Amino acid sequence: MAFTLSPPPPHLLPPKTSRAGPSFICHSLSSSSSSSTPYSMGQKMGGSKLMEFPHLLDPHRDTMISLISAVENCLGSHLLPSSVPPDVEYYQNESGTSQGTLCVRCGIDSSPVDFVLASWLHLEQPTGGGALDITNIAGYMKSSTEVPHFQFELVQCSPTYFILFLDLIPRRDTVSHPDYLKTFYEDTQLEARRQRLGQLPEVQPYFSSSLYFRGVVSPTGILVSIKCEDGGKERVEEIIRDHIGPISNEVAGIWMDMCVGGGGEVREAERAELEKRDSLIKRKAIEMDLSSSLPKQFGQEVADRVLRVIRSVYKT
């Protein structure tokens, strides 16, 4: 999606001024950071640097470890080992003030999963306004299935201000394909998760200034800001631990059930149109975001080698 691996563009920066879901085939692991299992699982997603998360609040780190571990647990047999070069698996700018990681595991030939990507970024602001910490997990599907793509991104803009983007990205138009809307969004009760998080007073809808981005997000997509000016850091940690983490794991579980459930198969004649839509989304992600922001943060040489890997994986 549009924000993988990059600092938030202007439309994602802070402004200046239930019912229980279906049972999951794939269950996410405990978010406890004391367990050694998530770390050993995470080694398959690109080595120790990815799993260090050195700048995050504890609940934020635990959420990432839990999500990555769940993907490894459920989809590991569908994925090849990461082949990202060491100088892209972990990279930084000349001064070392900004760092990034990237892990990509592509799907095996028989898998409906195209690839799963995980990353974190720590970006010191040149104006002295603190740092942005961005974590991302994305799962893209092949054209053999119409199962939506998965996107999780949590951005810490300040110790008390976060932006969350959590969605299953539609791969068909939900107006002309009402069965698609029902199967992947209504029957899975994703709206209940969105509403559950929206009940918290600190959580407000975040309206991107990018009309393109707003057109890509699903009707049940979660794009919110979390401001805890009164409760401070403790309240932020509570919201991430008790609400964002569990809801993100539930949505990821729904998506992984779809991946391994064997549904959503696409006829050969329809695959070209699905590939075209997917390719446009990936190309736009690079054009809108990565190709301009990475050089500014890391310099052209580092940006070029990271973008080479991304373009290779995205096939753009």
Q: What is the pLDDT of residues 228-242, one digit of tens each?
A: 988 789 999 999 999
| Measured distance CA(217)–CA(191) in Å, rounded | 13
Topology of the domain covering 10-14+22-314:
oxygen-dependent coproporphyrinogen oxidase (3.40.1500)
Q: In the predicted model, is pLDDT for residue 210 greater than 60?
A: yes
Q: pLDDT (tens digit, 9 = 90+) per residue, 274-311?
A: 999 999 988 888 887 777 789 988 999 999 999 999 99
| Measured distance CA(174)–CA(252) in Å, rounded | 21
| Measured distance CA(80)–CA(63) in Å, rounded | 24
| Measured distance CA(281)–CA(169) in Å, rounded | 10
Paired tokens of 92: 């930084």
Handedness of CA 225, 229, 232, 238 (dihedral sign): negative
**Average pLDDT for the chain:** 84
Q: What pLDDT shows up at residue 263?
A: 77
Residue 45 φ/ψ, nearest 5 degrees? -95, 20
Give the SS3 label for residue 99: strand
Q: In the predicted model, is pLDDT for residue 151 greater than 50?
A: yes
CA 22, chain centre distance (Å): 22
Q: What pLDDT shows up at residue 30?
A: 33
Average pLDDT over residues 191-211: 93
Q: In the predicted model, is pLDDT for residue 29 greater than 80?
A: no
Task: Indicate the pTM of the whole model.
Answer: 0.86
Q: In the predicted model, is pLDDT for residue 156 greater than 80?
A: yes
Share of the chain above pLDDT 70, in %: 84
Q: In the predicted model, is pLDDT for residue 40 greater than 60?
A: no
Handedness of CA 140, 7, 48, 160 (dihedral sign): negative
Average pLDDT over residues 243-259: 97
Average pLDDT over residues 144-154: 96
Residues 122, 98 contacting (CB under 8 angstroms): yes
Of 295, 281, 309, 259, residue with least CA distance to 113: 259
Average pLDDT over residues 198-227: 92
